Amino acid sequence: MRLTARKFSNLSKMIDFYSQFNPSPLSIKHFVDFGMSACEKKSFLFLRQELPVRLANIMKEIHLLPVNLLRMPSVELVNDWYAQSFTEILQFEKLDYSSDNLDRFCDALIKIRNRHTDVVPTMAQGVLELKESHEVDSQTEFSIQYFLDRFYMSRISIRMLINQHTLLFGNEMQNKERKPMHIGCIDPHCDLIGVVKDAYENASFLCDRYYLASPQLLVREHNNNEDGSIRIVYVPSHLYHMLFELFKNSMRAVMENHADNYPPIEVVIVKGKEDVCIKVSDKGGGIPRCQTDQLFQYMYSTAPQPSKSDIHTVPLAGYGYGLPISRLYARYFHGELNLLCCDGLGTDAIIYLKALSNEANEVLPIFNKSSTKFYRTTVPVGDWSTNTGIIGSRQISTLKAPYGLIN
């Protein structure tokens, strides 16, 4: 979308205006309670204000990225997508909630969602373009990591709002015939074992294609509060995304560290008073401790980078964005994703989800002076000394003495 100088000036003013407001985080309970009564007028009035706020907050941060990254063709394309979507939402800013406008609004949301389908691989391609054309220093890498965490979290939240509205009020509501118990994209009785098995089977299909075999799955539950299978109020597609990524990683590790007799992948699901924990354990050789922190870095991957022709495929490994984005899905509703690696044996990945829907609140990025500083603050200098270098802003002089002379 090419903007004239006048339109660009007006767009900038509107972005500045809406970025002054903080996003309004919702809980899963809020989504469910609203979905039970499902008033399209209320949803329209809320989204036509909330979506511009969420878009404007993250668009302000896009413009704080290093200039070299902003000039990459793929990043310019993503920036144009956001500008176009922001402009289209603003068209409904002062319209009434007539039946015709409600239909147009729903169609606009679907159009925006479809436009942003490839945002993740396109932004990833932009980072690759930067790495191939410029030397990336530690400060630039720090800024990119900080931004992408916030950018992708914002994207998750915006898609959540759009999906809820279009599933409840658009033509997509026909999906209710297949999933009658769902409230939008939320399942009030999400069967965790069912999602685990779906994610495993699809990851296993990919593994079979690549390695002509795949490890088996063992699942068990431990429910501290009630009898029967563990079910919670959650978004199955979010959980599936996390599990699918973990299974892909585990299968790749197992297949590449065992010639045959592949050890199974074990999953344990536990429901406590506050959290639901899903632990995925493999015996794929583990990861050295020095590499575990890098696994959540967007500019790091243990697998070869995919070619541009693979951008729309689902390879067993790719850009290295799987784990960082999976952790964002977990954190989006106040959960977490941790890795516990035992080098030489295997890896335990633990997904934490809130057991109570009223405590599962959205975690959203906010543009303000504090966030702005992260793009200009230099990477901290090390303040701990070791015989391999300096870590953390001061050396500790007492560590300089020979070991035998320290009292």
| HSE value, Cβ hemisphere, 13 Å, CA-based, for 346 | 20
User: Cα separation of 355 and 273, whole Å?
Assistant: 7
Q: What are the CA-CA distances from residue 129 to residues 72, 275, 299, 304, 370 (Å)?
A: 6, 41, 12, 15, 29
In the chain the first and final C-alpha atoms are separated, in Å, by 69
Can you name the residues that pair with 267 across neighbouring β-strands? 219, 280
- Chunked into runs of 10 residues, the chain (407 residues) has average pLDDT values of 67 95 97 94 97 97 93 96 97 94 97 96 93 89 94 98 96 56 95 97 95 96 79 97 97 94 97 96 94 86 53 54 96 97 97 97 94 78 69 45 40
| pLDDT score for 395 | 42
Whether 359 sits among the annotated catalytic residues: the reply is: no
| 265 phi/psi in degrees, rounded to 5 | -95, 125
| pLDDT score for 229 | 85
Whether 308 sits among the annotated catalytic residues: the reply is: no
User: Cα separation of 352 and 323, whole Å?
Assistant: 14
- Which residue in the list 165, 182, 238, 248 is annotated as catalytic? 248
Going along the chain from its start, the domains and CATH numbers come out as 7-181 (1.20.140.20), 187-354 (3.30.565.10)
Question: Token digits for 206?
Answer: 């990919």
Contact partners, residue 364, CB within 8 Å, separation at least 6: 23, 25, 54, 153, 154, 157
Query: Which residue, 129, 148, 138, is CA-closest to 62?
Result: 148
| pLDDT score for 4 | 61
Query: Which residue, 68, 58, 83, is CA-closest to 147?
Result: 58
Whether 176 sits among the annotated catalytic residues: the reply is: no
Whether 76 sits among the annotated catalytic residues: the reply is: no
| pLDDT score for 383 | 77
- Which residue in the list 116, 165, 238, 241 is annotated as catalytic? 241
Percent of the chain predicted with pLDDT > 70: 84
- Which residue in the list 182, 249, 266, 271 is annotated as catalytic? 249
